[in-house]
A = this chain, B = another copy of it.
Amino acid sequence: MTVCIVGLGLMGGSFALGLRESGFASSLIGVESSPTHAEKALALGLVDKILPLEAALAQSQLVLLATPVDHLVQLAPRVLDLIRPDQVVFDAGSTKHPVVQSIKNHPLRKQFIATHPMAGTEFSGPEAALSGLFEGKCVVLCDTDQSSSEACALVTAAYQALGMRMILMESNAHDLHVAYVSHISHIASFSLALTVLEKEKEEQRIFDLAGGGFSSTVRLAKSNPATWTPIFEQNSQHVLEVLDAFIANTIQFRNMLENKDLQGLYTLMEQANAIKRILS
C-alpha cells in the first residue's frame, strides 16, 4: 500500500519507519513544507519521495496528517477537498476536538479518522524519528461513529502493524483526559526547567547533580515550542483547570513545609505514592 505522510517530524518520521518495517507500507510519499526537513527525511530514507500535497495525495491510498495542531485545522478540510472516495485520511495531533470540528460538515467526513498515538520523545524533526516508537503503546481513536467502517478498518490495521493498543474516546473527553495527564506533565516540566536554569547559575552543578532525579523530571522541557504552543492554546480551558489544581497543590506543599507540618507533608507524599498502583 502507498501511504502519504504530511509532516516528517518525530511523529511522521516514526510512522514512516514503523509502517515500512512492518510491511504495511510498500511505498511512502512525504509532503514537507521545510526544505531542510524534506532533505533530511530523504537522506534518512524515511520516505521514497517528497511531492507537493496534490501530487502526493493522487498517488496514495492512506494519508496521515502529522503537522502541528494549528496547521491541522486548515489542512484536514483541504485534504478532504482533494481526495477521492476510496481514500482514507487520519491525523496524529495531541488535541482532537478542533480538528474534528474543522471537518464536521465536510461531505467526505466519513473518510477521516481523528487519532492520537500516546507516544513520543522530547526530540523533534526527521532525525528524531524512531522505529518502534509506537510499539506496545496506546492510541486513542476519536468519534469513530462519524467515520466509515472501511476507514476505521484501514487505520486500525495500520496501528496494529505498529503494535499499538487502541482505545475509543469521544473527542471532547479525549481533550479533557490528555490535559489531565499529558499536557499538565509538560507544563510541570517546562516550569521546572525554567526554575532550575534561573536559580542555578552554575551549569556544571546542574550537570553534576542531575542524577538525583532531575534528568527524568525535566525531560519533557526539551519539547518543541512550535508543537506545544498550539496544543496549549487549543486545549486552554481544560489545561487551565488542571494547572490551577497543580498550582494549588504545590502551594499547599510549600505552606506545610514553611509551617513545619511534617505529618502533613508525609501524608501528601503518601497520597502521591498511589500513582505506583496505576503505573507499576
Given the known interface contacts A181-B200, A254-B240, the answer about A215 and B279 at a Cβ–Cβ threshold of 8 Å is yes
Q: Does A186 contact B (CB under 8 A)?
A: yes
Separation of A26 and B98 alpha carbons in the complex (Å): 65
Q: Does A119 contact B (CB under 8 A)?
A: yes
Separation of A209 and B176 alpha carbons in the complex (Å): 11
Q: Does A273 contact B (CB under 8 A)?
A: yes
Residue from B217, B236, B271 within 8 A of A220 (CB atoms): B217
* B247 adjacent to A254 (CB under 8 Å): yes
The contact string, 1 if C-beta is below 8 Å from chain B, for chain A 233-262, is 100100111111111011101100110101
Name A172-218 residues within 8 Å CB distance of B. 177-178, 180-182, 184-200, 202-203, 205-218
* B206 adjacent to A278 (CB under 8 Å): yes
Given the known interface contacts A215-B279, A247-B250, A279-B218, the answer about A184 and B195 at a Cβ–Cβ threshold of 8 Å is yes
Separation of A203 and B167 alpha carbons in the complex (Å): 14
Shortest distance between the CB of A232 and any CB in chain B (Å): 6
Residues of B close to A189: CB separation below 8 A: 188, 213, 217, 272
Oligomer: number of copies: 2
Between A221, A265, A268, A272, the greatest number of chain B beta carbons within 10 A of the residue's beta carbon is seen for: A272
Residue from B191, B209, B217, B240 within 8 A of A177 (CB atoms): B209
Residues of B close to A137: CB separation below 8 A: 211
Separation of A253 and B208 alpha carbons in the complex (Å): 28
Q: Does A274 contact B (CB under 8 A)?
A: yes
Q: Does A223 contact B (CB under 8 A)?
A: yes
Q: Does A37 contact B (CB under 8 A)?
A: no
Given the known interface contacts A236-B260, A243-B257, A260-B233, the answer about A269 and B218 at a Cβ–Cβ threshold of 8 Å is no
Chain B residue with minimal CB distance to A192?
B188
Separation of A268 and B198 alpha carbons in the complex (Å): 12
* B258 adjacent to A236 (CB under 8 Å): yes
Q: Does A138 contact B (CB under 8 A)?
A: yes
Given the known interface contacts A225-B266, A273-B222, the answer about A279 and B188 at a Cβ–Cβ threshold of 8 Å is no
Separation of A177 and B205 alpha carbons in the complex (Å): 7
* A257 adjacent to B239 (CB under 8 Å): yes
* A257 adjacent to B279 (CB under 8 Å): no
Shortest distance between the CB of A175 and any CB in chain B (Å): 11
Q: Does A125 contact B (CB under 8 A)?
A: no
* B213 adjacent to A182 (CB under 8 Å): yes
* B262 adjacent to A233 (CB under 8 Å): yes
- Can you sample 21 A-B contacts with CB below 8 Å? A120-B211, A138-B211, A177-B209, A181-B214, A188-B188, A188-B217, A190-B253, A191-B253, A194-B272, A199-B241, A199-B242, A203-B278, A213-B219, A216-B219, A221-B272, A222-B275, A225-B266, A236-B260, A239-B257, A240-B254, A250-B250
